[in-house]
């Protein structure tokens, strides 16, 4: 996936989620969508990603 077009993932803790590729920073991000939306960058550590999503 090198396209910036988001791919729906499902729900996480009541938020709709999408996977996207940030072409400017060349990394993957998960977008949490509720009343507002926030992009959370993903790293190599699964537990770190969960903590970032929880803090997002």
Residue that the structure tokens 């996936």 belong to:
1
Q: pLDDT (tens digit, 9 = 90+) per residue, 18-30?
A: 999 999 999 999 9
List the strands of the sheet with 15-22, edge to edge: 7-12, 15-22, 27-33, 37-41
Distances (CA, A) of 47 to 1, 24, 32, 34: 22, 25, 17, 23
Q: pLDDT (tens digit, 9 = 90+) per residue, 2-56?
A: 677 899 999 999 999 999 999 999 999 999 999 999 999 999 999 999 999 999 8
Helix ranges (H only) for 1-56 are 46-55
Q: What residue spans define the domains of the chain?
A: 1-43
């Amino acid at each position: 996936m090198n396209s910036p077009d988001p791919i729906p993932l499902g729900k996480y803790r009541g938020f709709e989620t999408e996977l996207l590729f940030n072409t400017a920073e060349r990394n993957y991000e998960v977008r949490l969508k509720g009343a507002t939306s926030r992009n959370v960058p993903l790293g190599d550590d699964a537990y770190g990603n969960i903590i970032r999503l929880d803090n997002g």
